Chain A
Amino acid sequence: SQTIHQWPATLVQPVGSPLSLECTVEGTSNPNLYWYRQAAGRGLQLLFYSVGIGQISSEVPQNLSASRPQDRQFILSSKKLLLSDSGFYLCAWKTGVMSYGYTFGSGTRLTVV
């Protein structure tokens, strides 16, 4: 079966520290992968998406970057975190079938202090 793993679930980091969030998908090949952020009281904002290894599209200029070193691995990074980077980060993947929707991970709650 197809599953998506995202970790860690919770993270508290000081301002200026680096960040690495990892997302992996099982049971499928060549998925589209996505990183979203949900700030407190706000909707979901698409940050990055990838249609293949090494292919990254950035939606919003920011302090973050993404990489896809393997087909089913998607990494969100930052060299120096800002307070405004706090939020709930969600990874998602999409099948080739439109009607099946996008499947989301359980999320990482990042608090920058």
Chain B
Amino acid sequence: SQELEQSPQSLIVQEGKNLTINCTSSKTLYGLYWYKQKYGEGLIFLMMLQKGGEEKSHEKITAKLDEKKQQSSLHITASQPSHAGIYLCGAGNFGNEKLTFGTGTRLTIIP
């Protein structure tokens, strides 16, 4: 089965600073999803990457998928308190019938 490892597990960043979260897969990624979760709430879809070398941006968040399609990174520029939460990467299987998740990264933004 596919395993996703996220690093770091937790991150404390001063407001305004940049940060990066990594997601590494044990197998080739057919679809890599990034989600954000506020504590005790559902997941909010951020973006999805499928092609090797692909990069997508939304507001101040940029996600990349490496050429070998086994690692993805999520980069936040000029962090804000609204960025705080748990970030989860998820991998779709070949037929995209199911999505398995990494262990998550808890992001705290301090003033």
Residues of A within 8 A of B (CB): 32, 34, 36, 42-46, 49, 51, 57, 59, 88, 90, 92, 94, 98-107, 109
Residues of B within 8 A of A (CB): 31, 33, 35, 40-43, 45, 48, 50, 88, 90, 92, 96-104
Name B31's closest neighbour in chain A (CB-CB). Answer: A98
Contact of B33 among A43, A88, A102 (CB under 8 A): A102
Beyond A43-B102, A104-B42, list 15 extra A-B contacts (CB 8 Å): A34-B98, A43-B101, A44-B90, A46-B98, A49-B97, A49-B98, A51-B97, A57-B98, A59-B98, A90-B42, A92-B43, A103-B45, A104-B43, A106-B41, A109-B40
Q: How far is the CB of A79 from chain B (nearest CB, A)?
A: 25
Indicate if the CB atoms of A46 and B100 lie closer than 8 Å: yes
Indicate if the CB atoms of B50 and A99 lie closer than 8 Å: yes
- Neighbouring A residues of B31 by C-beta, 8 Å: 98
Name A106's closest neighbour in chain B (CB-CB). Answer: B42
- Neighbouring B residues of A49 by C-beta, 8 Å: 97-98
- Between A and B, 12 residue pairs with Cβ closer than 8 Å are A42-B104, A43-B88, A43-B102, A43-B104, A46-B100, A51-B97, A98-B48, A98-B50, A99-B48, A101-B33, A102-B43, A104-B35
